[in-house]
Structure 1
Amino acid sequence: MDVWRRLLLAIVCGVAVASVYAAQPVLAPMGESLGLSAGHLGWIVSIGQFGYLAGLVLLVPLGDVVANRRRLIAVHLVITAAGLVLTAAASAAWMAFAGLALAGMFAVVVQTTVAYAASVSPPAERGRNIGVVTSGVVVGILGARVVTGLLAEQWGWRSIYLVLGVLALGLAAVVLRVLPADERSRRPAGYRQAVVAFGGLFGDRLFLTRGLIAFFLFASFGTLWSGLSLPLTDGPWHLSESQIGLFGVAGLAGALGAARAGRWADAGRAVPIAGFGLALLIVSWAAIAQLPWSLWLLIVGIVVLDFAVQVVHVSNQHLLTSVHVERTSSVIGGYMVFYSLGSALGAAATTSVFTSYGWGASSLLGAGFAACALIVWAVDGGRASRSPGSRSETAGAHGGREERRKAETV
């Protein structure tokens, strides 16, 4: 895959995931406009996450059914745009929630895009390509904070969703024109068969281990990014939306982590590097907890946290797609169910905890989630084995067998 196509896929991921997280730096004005109380602001982000969860279960298996993933990516982008425009036009909370849920549901185009990248990549380059494409997710989550903060300050929070909707429509047209069709090594399964196989993944020990790690990983991630705007708008800082959005620049170090993690995974170090990333994640919260006294320590903590999260995230995806080479859409979608649930938990919990107990308690919550992820990795992360019934799916796939051997012996 050439560099321009990797860049296009990264941009698709960035715009799609931004539609779920765009509200984070503007929770206060968005909630005020829609008539929501401070204790319920976290639901603005969580609704999109629950829509995303529904999309993972109902839509992602289509990636293993539809022969042309390129067309599927374009259709999902168009419907995502419709949800974004509905949110921008919302006159009441229920209408905004409906738009956010629709945009979140079809934002699973991210998983179809990552699966597409994995399927068109030779085994020796799979980690690198997944890393580059996944870096678009980091840019979408964190870079959007910068842009949305600026847009909200100039034209209000509704302009954010309108701009994202236009971008999604434009990308749908470019995808159809630029990307080649991905060739399958065997005939795609039917939808019912794909959904059943999707459910069967939850009986796979390796899959469950990586999923639990992702659940706690992104609960920790969501605790930071869904709650960060609240203490920064309070004393002693009293920052504006655009100033809060600039903290997303620090988090863009995670994009570098995603690209580097892909190369480490290609070298066979996916499992140990995930453990290192989780330990680093816990350390990052010591600096983030200093927010009431030091913005510089907060920035250091953000850089470390986002780098650590992406190292673990890319390592997990590389390992799973190497093992399940014929079901990349389903395995990535299933893995992201844990991501979505964890992110929703972090978003809902952090606003409630901060409102009741302050930023110190939110920091302990984030560190606690990170510690749970490290415990799962330490207990079973390197020894998880695949279910016997799934082994035939990777017969002849040298890259998958090699990653499987490394995962079992670490």
Structure 2
Amino acid sequence: MPAGDRSRALQIIALACLAHVLSVAHHATFPALIPLFQTEWGLSNSESGWISGIFFAGYLLGVPVLVPATDSLDPRRIYIVSALVGGLATLAFAWLAQGLWSALALRALAGLGMAGTFMVGLRLVTDRLSGRWESRGASWYLASFSIGLAFSTLLAGELAALGGWKLAFLIAGLLSAGSVLPALLLPPVPQVRRTAPVSRPLDLRPALRNRTALGYNIAYACHTWELFGWRSWLVAFLVFAFAWHGQDSVAGFEPTQWASLFLMLGLPASILGNEAALRWGRRRTLTLVMLASAALAAGLGFASVLPPALLLLLVACHAILVMADSSALTAGAVAAATSRRGATMAVHSLLGFTFAFFAPLAAGLLLDLGGDTPLGWGLALASLGLVAACGPLALRYSARHQASPAA
């Protein structure tokens, strides 16, 4: 690749990733502070799960309209408006949230904003790149979500300790709205990459007929059940595990700080997972990774009785495995969508984040049933691994329909 083209590709990826990191600054603000809200508002585990999950319900309301609309409208405009919605909803949470019901409404609105930034932002990358740079750009963009989530978790914990949860939401909202700036700096889409508007852009049926992509969509849903269920309860789990051993911190690090470190592991894991899929075969690599991650998730809750150092090592291993399949799954769906890419990614998000909505709630319900004990946490986290283990079955379905038309 000529130096000028390489420089342009790197510029596009850097700007898109920066926008992505800023846009999700509000994402983990509530999950990172679940123990605080449970104390201040008297929330149960089930109610905490509802507030965590309702974010994805808001996301699901917007995806069927906003993501397929990128086949006809400028994705950058959709991105900018949605980023402002998410940022303003988070600012409103800082001033207006007073309990369960107000929290549910405002977190749902923040999730609606993310519906127009997450997968829409992927179009900002892939529409401007081609060849192997398109796959790598998608991989880096999706992997940067780990940076954004780690940053969001760390920011929430540090700011809440400094000035309370209202300050955490205020700063997160401002940063999320600020993601419009790098999005505006992206170069225009090359003329050769532009496509004519399609008729009926909100019709998802062509994407559903693409059996190859649909297999990746379903596998991604199994992945997001494990991923977002785990992320929603990660800090609360670490708080419990540390307290079980009579500690508030380990090696001088608080639970939110440990969680941020673990979430950062998702960046190299996601990128290297995609590279491994390109080299050794996408489905073979994904099957091995998903089964290993599911097996580890199934045992993590019960492992809370282990010495903290050993438990943290297991959590770190799971943090790597649970993200190693993320970029490769989405890149597989993108590659299978030779036409109607927006519709295919809408189905990808709809299935994935429907599972993401129910996973925190299911874990919270099991935790209420089993109690705040190693058994309760064991059952809650095992439910995440059980669904994730179904992902390889969807990949086999995709393989059987490899020759299906893309749309």
| TM-score where L is the length of structure 2 | 0.86
Structure 1 window deviating more from structure 2 (342-351 vs 46-55): it is: 342-351
Give the letter aligned to residue 369 of structure 1: V
Residue of 171, 177, 180 corresponding to 2:185: 177
Question: 1:346 and 1:299 mapped to 2: Cα distance?
Answer: 22
Residue of 244, 250, 253 corresponding to 2:255: 244
Q: Deviations over 1:72-97 (max 9, x none)?
A: 22222112111111111124333332
Structure 1 window deviating more from structure 2 (92-101 vs 107-116): it is: 92-101
- Retained in 2: the 8 A contact 1:46–1:348? yes
- Retained in 2: the 8 A contact 1:232–1:244? yes
How far residue 338 of structure 1 moved from its aligned partner, in angstroms, is 1.8
How far residue 21 of structure 1 moved from its aligned partner, in angstroms, is 2.8
- Retained in 1: the 8 A contact 2:229–2:384? yes
Aligned match of 2:305:
292
Question: 1:327 and 1:34 mapped to 2: Cα distance?
Answer: 45
Identify if the C-alpha distance between structure 1 residues 339 and 17 changes in structure 2 by more than 3 Å, giving closer, same or farther.
farther
Q: Deviations over 1:143-186 (max 9, x none)?
A: 32222111111112222221122112322133213443454442
Give the letter aligned to residue 93 of structure 2: T
Q: Following superposition of structure 1 onto structure 2, how do residues 130-169 of structure 1 map, counting pairs within 5 Å?
A: 130-169=138-177
- Retained in 2: the 8 A contact 1:215–1:338? yes
Q: Deviations over 1:206-260 (max 9, x none)?
A: 23322221222121123322223334333325537x8111222123211102222
Identify if the C-alpha distance between structure 1 residues 271 and 38 changes in structure 2 by more than 3 Å, giving closer, same or farther.
closer
Structure 1 window deviating more from structure 2 (285-294 vs 201-210): it is: 285-294
How far residue 15 of structure 1 moved from its aligned partner, in angstroms, is 3.0
Aligned match of 1:25:
32
Aligned match of 1:380:
397
Aligned match of 1:403:
none
Question: 2:239 and 2:319 mapped to 1: Cα distance?
Answer: 22
Residue of 261, 271, 288 corresponding to 1:259: 271
- Unpaired segments ≥5 residues, structure 2: 1-7, 371-375
Identify if the C-alpha distance between structure 1 residues 152 and 322 changes in structure 2 by more than 3 Å, giving closer, same or farther.
same
How far residue 267 of structure 1 moved from its aligned partner, in angstroms, is 4.3
Identify if the C-alpha distance between structure 1 residues 265 and 16 changes in structure 2 by more than 3 Å, giving closer, same or farther.
same
Identify if the C-alpha distance between structure 1 residues 203 and 295 changes in structure 2 by more than 3 Å, giving closer, same or farther.
farther
How far residue 114 of structure 1 moved from its aligned partner, in angstroms, is 0.9
- Retained in 1: the 8 A contact 2:15–2:185? no
Give the letter aligned to residue 48 of structure 2: L
The DSSP-based 3-state class of the residue aligned with 2:96 is coil
1:323 and 2:357 correspond: no
Give the letter aligned to residue 397 of structure 2: D
1:201 and 2:219 correspond: no
Question: 1:62 and 1:31 mapped to 2: Cα distance?
Answer: 39
1:3 and 2:10 correspond: yes
Give the letter aligned to residue 272 of structure 1: R
How far residue 29 of structure 1 moved from its aligned partner, in angstroms, is 2.1
Residue of 46, 53, 56 corresponding to 1:49: 56
- Retained in 2: the 8 A contact 1:124–1:266? no
How far residue 362 of structure 1 moved from its aligned partner, in angstroms, is 1.8
Q: Runs of at least 4 residues of structure 1 off by over 6 A?
A: none
1:306 and 2:342 correspond: no
- Retained in 2: the 8 A contact 1:135–1:254? yes
User: How many residues get paired?
Assistant: 385
Identify if the C-alpha distance between structure 1 residues 121 and 214 changes in structure 2 by more than 3 Å, giving closer, same or farther.
same
Q: Matched residues, percent identical?
A: 17
CA RMSD across the alignment: 2.5
Q: Following superposition of structure 1 onto structure 2, how do residues 77-88 of structure 1 map, counting pairs within 5 Å?
A: 77-88=83-94
- Retained in 2: the 8 A contact 1:273–1:315? no
Identify if the C-alpha distance between structure 1 residues 326 and 376 changes in structure 2 by more than 3 Å, giving closer, same or farther.
closer
Identify if the C-alpha distance between structure 1 residues 140 and 384 changes in structure 2 by more than 3 Å, giving closer, same or farther.
farther
- Retained in 2: the 8 A contact 1:132–1:259? yes
